[in-house]
Structures are given as structure tokens and as C-alpha cells.
């Protein structure tokens, strides 16, 4: 039986359409027998749709800026600080990369100009890159959408491509998975994507095909819940059942243990001091 002892894609109240605190997620992770939890709230204009796309204050993003106050070990669970950033361009660019920060969290002018993305991810251990808005890809060719994911994988802080099976954007799965394997990055198998109600089974078929491609290419995966409420943290029965059915190798499940996931991070240059 496949083991999964980490959940590195979870949300808190900060994501606005999620319903639990960090502590509630930590306690749920402990109860589920997890060794490691990653808090990865949305970094996206779905949170603050009136964000000026040229300039921004850090006031709305203090949650990320101050993540250093979260303990690295809490209730027996190791804790990672992350973000789920929206892919917003066919070049793989992410939300905030074209937005200049002009004010700090107090509203004062910043001393050093940087992008919103750089400011936010400076306090993150890793980034999950996902598509939620797909209008920017309307009419794009398969080559262009493939380049979109390749561009996201090339970003230094991006460790995981999130829920590619349900994004609704076709891409060359083998090419993207092969590049992820080459870079030591992870493809997510997302429990939330495998719910029976999703698109009459099309999403499940897509997720299965992606998992099979990962097994063939030797690409590591992250099995996550994408939990938006604490009672979902750590529970991935659909994902694990699907992986069992296709005979997915345990050694390619980076979330099989805290040590395995941290080793996968370190291999991409994302080592976390103290863990």
C-alpha cells in the first residue's frame, strides 16, 4: 500500500473561500498522522481583484510577508511556508511578477523597488504554480500551452505544478512531465480534482494519464488534498486508490515522508534550515 505522510497544498482563512486557521490545519494534520504540512494560500487576483496591475501595496499580502512567525514544528508536525501562485501568461509568468511594490505594510513608500511576486515569495519555502483563470490561454496552440507549463517549471521557487489535470488547458503531458523529471520538480496528484462530481469523469481520466506519464518518466509526484477546510487535511483516498491501480512506484511519491519531500526540495536548491 502506498504511503503518504505529507500534505503540502492546503489553504487557510486567508484564501477567503477556505474556512480554517493555520492551527486548525496543523491539528488536523496531526490527527491524520502526517509528518509534514505545507500552508499554501492563494497568491492570485481572485483574492483582491482590484489590485492595480502596475503598482501594489503589501498591505493585502501581509499573511505571506509575516509567515516567519509560524513555528517550524507545531503539535508534532513539521510546517512549511508556501504559496499557490496563479500562472497568468503563456510564457509561464506568475501572478505578481508584473506588479511593482510601491508601499510597505504600513503604507509608507518602500526603499527598494521589487515586484509583488518577489516580495511575497521571499518568505516562502516553495511555490505551487497552478492555473485558475484560463482566459489568457483561449485560442492558444498545444505548443504554446506546453511552453506555459515549461516556463513555470523554470522558475526557481516553483517546486510543484498544481492540479494540471483539472485546469482545462490541454498540453503535451509527456514533454512537461519529462522536463519536470529533468529539473527534479514535482507534478501534483490532487485529491480535490478526483471528486466524482467533476466534469463527468474527464478530470479523473486526465489525472490518471498524467500519473501514468510520471511513472514512465520517473518523475516524482506530490499527493495533496488542496484542502480548503481542516477536516480534509491529510485525506487522499481517491488519489492513492488511483495510484495503486496503475502500480505507481512508492519511491516516486515525494510526499511519502517528510524526509523524502525535504530531500526533493533540497535537490532543487530549496533547502529549509532547521528542517
Question: Domain limits of the chain?
Answer: 6-267
Return the CATH superfamily for domain 6-267.
Metal-dependent hydrolases (3.20.20.140)
Maximum CA pair distance of the chain? Answer: 56
Position 93 pLDDT exceeds 60: yes
- Specify the pLDDT at position 76: 97
Mean pLDDT within 62-90 = 96
> Per-residue confidence at 271, pLDDT binned at 50, 70, 90?
confident
- Specify the pLDDT at position 259: 97
Would you state the cell numbers that stand for residue 206, as one nine-digit string? 486526465
Task: Please give the share of the chain, as a percent, with pLDDT higher than 70.
Answer: 96
Q: Could you tell me which residues come within 8 angstroms of residue 110 by beta carbon, excluding any fewer than 6 positions away?
A: 101, 102, 103, 104
Would you state the cell numbers that stand for residue 77, as one nine-digit string? 508536525
Mean pLDDT within 10-27 = 97
Mean pLDDT within 118-140 = 96
Q: Note the helical H segments in the chain.
A: 22-31, 62-65, 116-121, 142-153, 173-183, 202-217, 237-245, 258-267
CB atoms inside a 10 Å sphere around CB 231:
14
Position 200 pLDDT exceeds 60: no
> Per-residue confidence at 31, pLDDT binned at 50, 70, 90?
very high
Phi-psi region of 48 (alpha: psi -120 to 50; beta: other; left: phi over 0): beta
- Specify the pLDDT at position 191: 97
Mean pLDDT within 121-131 = 97
Amino acid at each position: 500500500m502506498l504511503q503518504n505522510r505529507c500534505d503540502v497544498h492546503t489553504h487557510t482563512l486567508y484564501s477567503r473561500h477556505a474556512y480554517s486557521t493555520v492551527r486548525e490545519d496543523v491539528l488536523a494534520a496531526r490527527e491524520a498522522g502526517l509528518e509534514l504540512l505545507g500552508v499554501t494560500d492563494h497568491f492570485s487576483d481572485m483574492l483582491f481583484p482590484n489590485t492595480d496591475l502596475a503598482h501594489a501595496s503589501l498591505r493585502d499580502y501581509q499573511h505571506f510577508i509575516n509567515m516567519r512567525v509560524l513555528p517550524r514544528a507545531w503539535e508534532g508536525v513539521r510546517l512549511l511556508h508556501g504559496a499557490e501562485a496563479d500562472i497568468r501568461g503563456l510564457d509561464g509568468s506568475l501572478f505578481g511578477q508584473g506588479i511593482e511594490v510601491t508601499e510597505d505594510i504600513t503604507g509608507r513608500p518602500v526603499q527598494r523597488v521589487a515586484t509583488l511576486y518577489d516580495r511575497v515569495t521571499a518568505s516562502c519555502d516553495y511555490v505551487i504554480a497552478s492555473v485558475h483563470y484560463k482566459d489568457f490561454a483561449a485560442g492558444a496552440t498545444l505548443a504554446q500551452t506546453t511552453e506555459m507549463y515549461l516556463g513555470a517549471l523554470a522558475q526557481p521557487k516553483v517546486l510543484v505544478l498544481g492540479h494540471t489535470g483539472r485546469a482545462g488547458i490541454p498540453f503535451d503531458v509527456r514533454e512537461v512531465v519529462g522536463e519536470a523529471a529533468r529539473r527534479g520538480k514535482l507534478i501534483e496528484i490532487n485529491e480535490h480534482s478526483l471528486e466524482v462530481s467533476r466534469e463527468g469523469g474527464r478530470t479523473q481520466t486526465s489525472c490518471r494519464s498524467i500519473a501514468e506519464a510520471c511513472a514512465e518518466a520517473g518523475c516524482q509526484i506530490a499527493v495533496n488534498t488542496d484542502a480548503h477546510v481542516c477536516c480534509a487535511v491529510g485525506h487522499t483516498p481517491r488519489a492513492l486508490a488511483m495510484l495503486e491501480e496503475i502500480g505507481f512506484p512508492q519511491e516516486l511519491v515525494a510526499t511519502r515522508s517528510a524526509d523524502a519531500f525535504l530531500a526533493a526540495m533540497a535537490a532543487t536548491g530549496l533547502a529549509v534550515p532547521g528542517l
